């Protein structure tokens, strides 16, 4: 699995790395997901992105993280873009308009989010004419399995508004359901039980219904949070999610090239 990720190459020559945008509520595990993927390829648990427990987002900047294949290794063909956490209140957390700017590739790395005012085109570092390599090629919603049933209505509405805008732009979307071990004692005993757990299946179905994505697009994962050593079964879930992201990005590039060829045929 690691080799297939290392050997992956986007079908479009102008893009060397797939850009995946991580979106989710505060504390769902977006930054921890990057740290976990990084850990798998480093061969030990690492913590590069700031992650932790807080009621407001610990990520206040737009960050793009490139994962390297081992210590001092080459960057992998995937960039994980981390955003400020979504909050249910208006004027708090990540602004929906900022997400559009990110999707279209306008936002520079380390852009400082301002929840009360979205990015404008005069802002420092704003990319006025982004290329395909600057745009987002796949969106991953990060949802805490323990909080699926108690997701506030306002937060669900925000996610729904984002999903509609992502759909309009034509970017593939999937859901990473994190903390599956905390949500189910059966999975906590052995992470391999994740696809045997009827409770986790129920949660996946609920996420699918609430966010309006097919069940096949909901991927259960467990981030590294308290462990000091890697667990191969945990790694398999994490790597499965990355492979799925790369496949979805391929769909995005295929769709683009189809559109171009249709346009040329019409001309």
pLDDT of residue 93: 55
Using CA atoms, how far apart are residues 72 and 216, in angstroms rounded to an integer? 35
Contacts of 100 (CB under 8 A, 6+ apart): 165, 169
Non-local CB neighbours of 223 within 8 Å, separated by 6+ positions: 29, 32, 33, 35, 36, 178, 179, 238
Give the DSSP H/E element, type plus range, for residue 64.
strand 61-68
Q: Give the number of other CB atoms < 10 A from CB of residue 265.
A: 7
**pLDDT of the residue at 98:** 75
Low pLDDT (below 50) residues in the chain? 51-59
What's the token pair of residue 89?
């209140």
CATH number, residue 169? 3.40.50.300
Strand 61-68: give its sheet, edge to edge.
111-112, 61-68, 75-82, 18-23, 138-144, 173-178, 218-220
Which residues are bridge partners to 122 per DSSP?
Answer: none
CA distance 19 to 109: 12
Domain enclosing residue 79, as ranges: 2-266
Query: What pLDDT is attached to residue 240?
Result: 97
pLDDT value of residue 113: 55
What is the pLDDT, as a whole number, of residue 214?
Answer: 95
This prediction has a pTM of 0.89
Spell out where 93-167 has E strands.
Answer: 111-112, 138-144
Length of the chain: 267
pLDDT at 8: 96
Predicted confidence at residue 88, as pLDDT, reads 65
pLDDT single digits (tens) 222-242: 999 888 899 999 999 999 999
Report d(CA 46, CA 97) in Å as an integer.
32
- Structurally, the chain folds into a number of domains equal to 1
Give the model's pLDDT for residue 112: 63
């Amino acid at each position: 699995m690691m080799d297939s990720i290392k050997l992956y190459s986007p079908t479009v020559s102008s893009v060397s790395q797939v850009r995946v945008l991580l979106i989710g509520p505060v504390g769902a595990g977006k930054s921890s997901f990057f740290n976990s993927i990084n850990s798998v390829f480093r061969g030990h648990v690492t913590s590069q992105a700031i992650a932790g427990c807080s009621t407001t987002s610990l990520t206040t900047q737009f960050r793009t993280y490139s994962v390297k294949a081992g210590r001092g290794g080459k960057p992998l063909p995937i960039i994980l873009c981390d955003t400020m956490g979504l909050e249910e209140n208006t004027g708090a957390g990540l602004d929906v308009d900022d997400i559009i700017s990110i999707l279209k590739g306008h936002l520079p790395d380390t852009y400082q989010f301002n929840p009360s005012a979205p990015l404008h085109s005069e802002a420092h570092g704003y990319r006025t004419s982004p290329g395909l390599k600057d745009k987002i090629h796949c969106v991953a919603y990060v949802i805490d399995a323990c909080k699926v049933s108690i997701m506030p209505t306002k937060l669900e509405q925000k996610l729904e508004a984002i999903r509609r805008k992502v759909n309009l732009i034509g970017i593939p979307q999937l859901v990473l359901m994190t903390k599956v071990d905390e949500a189910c004692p059966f999975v906590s005993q052995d992470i391999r039980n994740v696809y045997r757990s009827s409770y986790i299946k129920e949660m996946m179905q609920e996420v699918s219904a609430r966010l309006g994505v097919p069940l096949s697009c909901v991927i259960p994962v467990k981030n590294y949070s308290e462990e000091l050593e890697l667990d191969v079964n945990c790694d398999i879930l994490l790597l499965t999610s990355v492979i799925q992201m790369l496949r979805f990005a391929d769909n995005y590039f295929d769709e683009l090239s189809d559109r171009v060829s249709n346009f040329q045929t019409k001309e």
